[in-house]
Structure 1
């Protein structure tokens, strides 16, 4: 069972500490709530993935000899892996797309609303402040009526600027890199998709999740330096 990364030192721009702690406390308070199927809390984010293929066919393992891989490789460009994660349900879903535009984000949110959580009143999505993570993405992808419907079904909970570590899905991305991607050579987008979906299925079947333990009360003690000094 994974736990969130240890908080590291980082720099908050001058004048932004109040905004940082406000968004941080809102996010942490949402994590502390019990699961409500009508208002699920889902972390959503994406990461670039490099497609790297073999320059020459590797030699398979055989009795008395290890598998061998040539140092030459073929660059296949970049694609993007999206990951949605609901820790209180021990559930996640992944998508692999050639790009990470607003259009892809809108399609994924629509799938979450209509296929994964059709009975939810509102889907609360925890995400960072990337410019694609807004309701405007719905209007770029769908007609106005459909875009408005999606906007009404979603509540965005933004992590602070320079505080993406507060998005619980980052813990799952860490597990994905260590357990699935690593330094493996995956040269095609379909191969990458197949490997990630197999990893997701195994994690869901095992009921793997994240036990988030960092609370607002902890933040006010351990990150007290980030809170502005209040003067009369």
Structure 2
């Protein structure tokens, strides 16, 4: 089957990829993408997707996606990866609150209960006034 997206690296791009690999600059995903782009280069080794996937322990779909990103969005985005459109929501609890909840969960459940469940734990955390609310249905007010 013919490849739809062909990777052709310039000498400058190749040097940047070698530099990323040599110095392990960036995340392990970035280094893996650099390896994949170098092996997928039509003017270089030009490995098949299956060979690349086997060599770097990933799926062939991953290799195809990186090649597609290179052709459609450019070298830098293919190397760095796509940025998140929606950043993760901020944490509701700090480390001390989390530790208290874990300690409560590891302790004995209240009388009349065999185990802790999420609803019971949430109610107990609000009663201890660790947080004003832990879920939409359970709050101090």
Q: Same fold (TM over 0.5)?
A: no
TM-score by length of 1: 0.16
Max radius of gyration: which structure?
Answer: 2
Larger relative contact order, structure 1 or 2 (CA cutoff 8 Å, min sep 6): 1
TM-score by length of 2: 0.22
More strand by share: 1
More helix by share: 2
